[in-house]
Structure 1
Amino acid sequence: MSNSSFPSFFVIFGVVIAIIVVSGVVSARRSRERTQALVAYAAARGWLFHADGTGLEDRFGGEPFQRGRRRRASQVLEGTHRGWPFIAFDYTYVTSNGKNSTTHHFSVVSLHLGVRTPMLQVRPQSAFGRFFSDAFGTDYHIGFREFDDAFHIRTDSTELAHDVLTEAFCRRLLAAPERALRFQGDSLLLFRTGRHDPAEVDAVLEQGSELLALVPAPVWERLRGVGGPTDAPV
């Protein structure tokens, strides 16, 4: 390398460092602003906010949980919406191909059902939806072509799938097809990639509560008979 190349090298190096520093400052500022917005949002509704969601990363099974490393839950909102207790949080994990690492971000909303259910997963027929593995449960088709073309269904209970996936339930899902949904354990989980914001949490909680209201009463009665008493709003 000639002496004349040293100034250019240091200029380029300095520009790269400056870009990294500025990007870090901007990212940190946006993170603070987002946290402040979520704190204010939770307070206005009488909900709780936790910046750290330690423990939530191991609470649920299935996708997107139990993948990768450095799993973390954060930006947690906790409260009740239309009688349903819920937790909404950001979930991240890291994968590596040996050279590069990628951090995967998900927005997760979980409504507590007060009763345990068989697994029923409905995911979009999209790049995001295909991220969810089909290693558990069996395929199920409802014979509603528009819905079967838009979503893929896996379940541990064809009875539950038949009873829950009514035309009204399916049409509500078709109105907002960007999220995956899973009945699992004592929760209804809704997922998408990315991070949540206040306006989105409102919309997802409304969608989740509307879907649960569309579950026929005999389904809840049957589940209560198996899982014990519940105070879930049915």
Structure 2
Amino acid sequence: MESVLPIIVIAAVVALIIVAAVASHRAAKARRDALAALAAARGWTFSPDRDRNHDDHFRQFRQFRQGNGRYAYNSVFGAMKLNDRELPIKLGDFHYETHSTNSKGQSTTHHHHFSYLLSELPSAATPDVTIRPEGVFDKVGAFFGFDDIDFESSEFSNKFHVSSDDKRFAYAIVHPRMMEFLLATRGPTLILSQGHALVTQGGTWKPEEFAPSVEWLEMFFDRWPDHVLADLKSRA
């Protein structure tokens, strides 16, 4: 019996691995199908293929420059509306790898996945801006003098981190009505840089969360004052 027990244990482990692999495959297929259906419903284009050039095309965002083994997948290409124009968008999932070594010198590869939404900006002359919910490290950074931009609303300043290379522009777009919108929606991380906007939250979104993310970004842009857009147009 003792000689049979190891065989039973090994067989059980193998069976669990097979079951987990089958479940993972089915979940991945269901996700691809859901995103393909989203694209089809809106007249957009879907590609499940791995895009290993994505990180080079959007290298201004550090989120796409982490680790190695980087690629975008489950990519959806389309457009979102802003007044009387359309802004090209790309959304989907992104993968990268990191590695760790234990005390015995054994290396482990860690796979990281997160979802994103990218959009062209209303103007390529838009300054770099980051708006995201404030975290513990932001408060620690503020203690050491690495502060973000403060606004008249103490509630907003306590809950959101805002930084920019152009404070005047940041104040112009983060006006009282925009603050109310961001506080009400508990907005995700939003980065404006080099002609593109990136929306992400660090983890993977459910398929049904992609469309609301596009709508959220449309509402964000819709709240930009007309004089800001006119100023950016003149800069361009």
Which of the five TM-score ranges fits, normalised by the shorter chain?
0.7 to 0.9
Secondary structure in structure 2 of the residue aligned to 1:139: coil
Q: Is the 8 A contact 1:138 1:156 kept in 2?
A: no
Per-residue CA deviations over 1:186-232 (Å, capped at 9, x if unaligned) read: 112111122234421111111101010101111111112222xxxxx
User: Counterparts of 1:103 and 1:175 in 2: how far apart (Å)?
Assistant: 33
1:46 matches 2:28: no
Secondary structure in structure 1 of the residue aligned to 2:151: coil
Per-residue CA deviations over 1:133-155 (Å, capped at 9, x if unaligned) read: 99xx9721113111111111121
Match of 1:65 in 2: 64
Moved more, 25-34 or 195-204: 195-204
Match of 1:231 in 2: none
User: Counterparts of 1:100 and 1:177 in 2: how far apart (Å)?
Assistant: 35
User: Counterparts of 1:164 and 1:138 in 2: how far apart (Å)?
Assistant: 19
1:200 matches 2:194: no
The aligned amino acid for 2:194 is: G
User: Counterparts of 2:202 and 2:2 in 1: how far apart (Å)?
Assistant: 45
User: Counterparts of 2:135 and 2:9 in 1: how far apart (Å)?
Assistant: 41
Length-normalised TM-score, structure 1: 0.85
Q: Is the 8 A contact 1:38 1:197 kept in 2?
A: no
Match of 2:114 in 1: 106
Gaps of 5+ in 2: 102-106
The aligned amino acid for 1:18 is: A
* 1:180 Cα deviation from its structure 2 partner: 0.3
Which of 188, 193, 209 in structure 2 is aligned with 1:184? Answer: 193
Per-residue CA deviations over 1:97-127 (Å, capped at 9, x if unaligned) read: 2233222221111121252221100121237
Identity score, percent: 26
For residues 74 and 138 of structure 1, do their structure 2 counterparts lie closer, same or farther at Cα, with a shift above 3 Å needed? farther
Which of 213, 218, 225 in structure 1 is aligned with 2:222? Answer: 213
* 1:76 Cα deviation from its structure 2 partner: 0.9
Secondary structure in structure 2 of the residue aligned to 1:13: helix
Match of 1:232 in 2: none
Match of 2:89 in 1: 86
The aligned amino acid for 2:213 is: V
For residues 71 and 30 of structure 1, do their structure 2 counterparts lie closer, same or farther at Cα, with a shift above 3 Å needed? same
Aligned residue runs from structure 1 range 1-234, under 5 A: 5-52=2-49, 53-60=51-58, 61-82=60-81, 83-98=86-101, 99-116=107-124, 117-126=126-135, 139-177=148-186, 179-227=188-236
Secondary structure in structure 2 of the residue aligned to 1:64: helix
User: Counterparts of 1:213 and 1:174 in 2: how far apart (Å)?
Assistant: 16
CA RMSD of aligned residues (A): 2.2
Per-residue CA deviations over 1:53-85 (Å, capped at 9, x if unaligned) read: 332222222331211011110111111122332
Secondary structure in structure 1 of the residue aligned to 2:65: coil
Gaps of 5+ in 1: 228-234
The aligned amino acid for 1:200 is: E
Moved more, 175-184 or 9-18: 175-184
Q: Is the 8 A contact 1:178 1:192 kept in 2?
A: no
The aligned amino acid for 1:111 is: S
